[in-house]
Structures are given as C-alpha cells and as structure tokens.
Amino acid sequence: NPTAFPQDFLWSAATSAYQIEGAYLEDGKSLSVVDLNINSAYADTSITSDHYHRFKEDVALMKELGLKAYRFSISWPRVLPNGRGEVNKKGIEFYLNLVKELKENGIEPLATIYHFDLPDCLQKEYGGWSSRKIIDDFAYYCEVLFEHLGENIKYWFTINEQSNMFLLPYLMVFDTDKSLEKQKYEMNHIMTLAHAKSIQLFREMVPSGKIGPAIGISPNYPKSCDPKDIQASREADDFRTYLFTDLYVYGHYRPNIWKYMLENNVAPTIMEGDLELIAGSKPDFLGLNYYQSRVVAYAPETLENKDIILNTGGNKGATGYEVIPGIYQGSSNQYLEKTDWDWEVDPIGLRVLLNDLNDRYHLPIIITENGIGAIEELTKERQVHDYYRINYLKNHLAQCRLAINDGVKLFGYCPWSFMDLLSTTSGFRKRYEFVFVNREDEDLMDLSRIKKDSFYWYKNIIETNGDM
Ligand code: BGP
C-alpha cells in the first residue's frame, strides 16, 4: 500500500508572466525580448489572457479549485523598466496585490524570478545574457524583489529552464556572426553565476525562505541494449541534465563536458572565484519541469551536427532530432504515445527521473511544470471535455506517489498550466490545464474563463489529498 502524499503537500498550478499577463506596455512596463523576438511570427504578448486586469477573478478560480499554492513568474521589465535603477511602483504593486490576494485566499505564492523575459533594453545595451554585466543587474533585480516581496513569499525559483534556453536557443537572442555553440556555453556559465549570486543575496535578505532553480529536463533512454547506446544515453544525461544540475548543486562541470568544450573551442570564460561562488550557493530544493522522456542512440563521428527542430504546428511527425556526432543522436520511442506536438507521454519516466535526481543530489523536489497541450474547443454547452488531460495527470500523479514511496522528498506539484495562455512554442492554438480562456471567435473574443472537466477532477484530487 503506497505511502500517501504528505499532509502539507503543495497542490499547485503554474503560469508565467509573459504568457498570461498581457498589458505589455501598461503602467510603465517596458518590452522584453520575448515580447519582441520570440513570438512575433505567430502570436503577440500584448493581451494574452489579460491576467494583469483579471487577477482577482483568476485567484477566485484558484480558490474554487482548492489550490494550496500557485506558481507564477515576475516580469523583470514590469518591475524595472530600464532593467535596473528606478523601481516601477505600479509594477511592484501588481505583484504585491497578487500575493495579498493569494494569501487572503489561503494560497501559498511560489514566485519565479526569471521566466525568459529579459528587459529588451539590456539585450540592446550589452547583449543580455552574453555579457557578465548582467550578473550585477540580475542581482539588483533580485534585491528589489527580496526587499519588497521577501516577507510575503516563502518559496522562490531563480531561473526557469536554463536547460531549455541552452537547448532551444530561440528562447534567447544570440549574435548570428559568432559561433552559436560557444555563445550557448558562455550564456550558461553566466546564467549559473547570476543564479548563484541571487541565492547568496537571498540567504542574507530572506533567511527563512527557500530557493532553487526550475529545470526542464528529461531522462534519456538507450535505444537498444547495444553498450554503445547505453553509453550514449549516459552522455545525453551528462550534456542535457547534469551539465546544469551538477553546476547548481556541486559547482562543477563533468570531465567529459570539459573535454568536449575544450576540444570544440566552446568553453566559457571561467574567472577566479566563479566555481567557488556557484558551489557555495547550493539550492534548498530542485524545481522540475517534466513533460517527456527521450530516446538516444550512439551517433557515429561521420554524422552531421544537428539541432532539435521543434514541432510548433501540432502536426505529428514534424520534430527533428538532435545529433551530436561521436556522442548521441535522438530518436522516437516506439513504446510511447505522442501528443500532436510529438511530445512523448511517459509517466514512468517521471518516477525514473525523480529517483535519479534524489539519488544524485538528496534534495527535496517540487514538480514545477507537468501537463499536456492540446487543441481544444468549447462544446455547444460551453464545456471542455479534456479526458486525455485527466488521464495524463492521473498517470503522472500515480508515479509521483510511487516515487514518494521510493524515498523521493517530493513536496509539491504544479501542473502546467493553471489556465490557457500563450504557449512558448505554439501560440494560442495549444492549450493546457484547467481553465479555458475564450478567444475562439473574434466577435466573442471576450477572454471569459470556463472550467474544463480537468478542473473538477483536480479539485477532487486536492480535496482528497491525491486519492485516485
Ligand atoms: C516550458 C516553459 C513554459 C511552457 C511549457 C510548455 O518549457 O517553461 O513556459 O511554455 O514549457 O511549452 P509549450 O508552450 O511550448 O507547449
């Protein structure tokens, strides 16, 4: 009889600022790199779900859902329109009001400091994350947040998915005249330093709070039992998971990654004291964004290097797999069902990954994202029958429970997302959890909120503390 979820388990749901707030130039906010560069081809961030104006209504829905906690992100350009310097009073007020509203409704706020939305002015001024100048600006931004919100928010996430900003560099702005690979490793090092500095500051300013990164990773399975494939899967874990997590927790690069960086001339500049700073800023927990597992095989040296090609249209089969010659190549998993975006649905992979992280780092873990994107429409009765989502969440939660039984210190679960929002890769077509936001037909694009079937299902899960 497996152990139940702990009594104080944080039943939560997640969103991020640029994906739900809208009001992208209101009340003093300046534009971020995401507002300008990432989605311009298919979506715009000016209104999204209009949460900026409707947060009270949204918090009321969270309360109805029974959420114990809610993960949101703070927009740097809303709080500091110039990236640094003067604090935008209205910007900080928005988050103070949101947190107040959450707390009055018995919901624990979980705040992400950075979720892809760098103030564009810092990108223009010195190239954003490519310059070490950002470390001080990020530290200042954190100082402002800890000063104004530190008393009211106990749980903080430093950076969301540094791993995916590395893997999918469309989330960043890079210099096209320079080697992308080199810039990726440089950015990764600088971001880790900024993350470490923010933890250092947090220890001084919010001594009773808890802080950690939110990482987006997948376990890598070998394509066969050919020892070459086994080794390839281990190296895929090194390059796509432990590169980030070993840095965060232990402050070191694995030797095979060093070797790769040096041989390929992509090593970042590491200054005296860098690794000590990182190693001295151990997080309190790991936040895990989990959507799928991956399969890899050995990649002969003769193959060409390839980056992942994302399926952004929701047309099955459009994904292009990554190849690192001599190390590994991605491939699809014949045993798993895929979403329309080719994301491989693998609940057991979550248990595998949770155990792996627990064995390696012995830190508490919170699932900061997990969920299924789909194209959805309202029925005539204005309902959304998202039975596939209920299945998805049920199966993943069952594995969470088994992982807790295995000894994993899992303390919370934040399905992505609380409500429909702008998808990072696929605009408004791809919808996620619990609350439908009506933008179907232009005349009726009233952005009204409609509870999906999964809303009622999750409500019951929370009420029964995960009894399925
Ligand atoms: C993660 C991001 C989220 C969110 C989610 C779903 O990578 O942290 O911001 O977007 O993935 O991805 P998508 O919107 O591309 O389906």
Atom 5 of ligand 1: nearest residue by CA position = 424
> Per the structure block, which two tokens stand in for 88?
């935008």
Distance (angstroms) between ligand 1 centre and the Cα of 16 equals 9
Q: For residue 349, which amino acid is it? A: G
Residue 227 CA to its chain's centroid (Å): 33
Distance (angstroms) between ligand 1 centre and the Cα of 162 equals 13
Query: Of residues 369, 377, 381, 442, which has the active-site annotation?
Result: 369
In the chain, what are the domains?
Answer: 10-217+283-291+342-463 (3.20.20.80)
Distance (angstroms) between ligand 1 centre and the Cα of 371 equals 10
369 is an active site residue: yes
The Cα angle at residue 321 between residues 320 and 327, in degrees rounded to 5: 155
User: Which parts of 26-79 are beta strand (E)?
Assistant: 69-73
Does residue 214 sit in helix, strand or coil?
strand
Residues with CB under 6 A from ligand 1: 16, 19, 160-161, 164, 216, 289, 369, 373, 416, 423-426, 430
Cα separation, 352 vs 349, whole angstroms: 5
Per-residue confidence in pLDDT tens, the chain, 468 aa: 567 899 999 999 999 999 999 999 999 999 999 998 765 555 688 999 999 999 999 999 999 999 999 999 999 999 999 999 999 999 999 999 999 999 999 999 999 999 999 999 999 999 999 999 999 999 999 999 999 999 999 999 999 999 999 988 778 888 888 989 999 999 999 999 999 999 999 999 999 999 999 999 999 999 999 999 999 999 999 999 999 999 999 999 999 999 999 999 999 999 999 999 999 999 999 999 999 999 999 999 999 999 999 888 888 999 999 999 999 999 999 999 999 999 999 999 999 999 999 999 999 999 999 999 999 999 999 999 999 999 999 999 999 999 999 999 999 999 999 999 999 888 888 999 999 999 866 555 689 999 999 999 999 999 999 988
pLDDT at 189: 98
The Cα angle at residue 391 between residues 240 and 291, in degrees rounded to 5: 10
Closest atom of ligand 1 relative to the 426 alpha carbon: 15
Contacts made by residues 248-254, CB under 8 angstroms, sequence distance 24+: 248/192, 248/195, 248/212, 248/213, 248/215, 248/278, 248/282, 248/283, 248/286, 249/282, 249/283, 249/286, 249/361, 249/363, 250/279, 251/196, 251/275, 251/276, 251/277, 251/278, 251/279, 251/280, 251/281, 252/279
> Could you identify the residue written with the tokens 């987006």?
216
Ligand 1 pocket mutation pick from 423, 426, 428, 429 by most atoms within 8 angstroms of CB:
423
Positive or negative torsion for Cα 268, 271, 272, 274: negative
Cα separation, 268 vs 258, whole angstroms: 10
> Per the structure block, which two tokens stand in for 414?
């934040």
Distance (angstroms) between ligand 1 centre and the Cα of 37 equals 16
DSSP letters spanning 253-298: --HHHHHHHHHTT-PPP--TTHHHHHHT---S-EEEE----EEEE-
Could you tell me which residues are beta bridge partners of residue 331? Answer: 295
Closest atom of ligand 1 relative to the 216 alpha carbon: 7
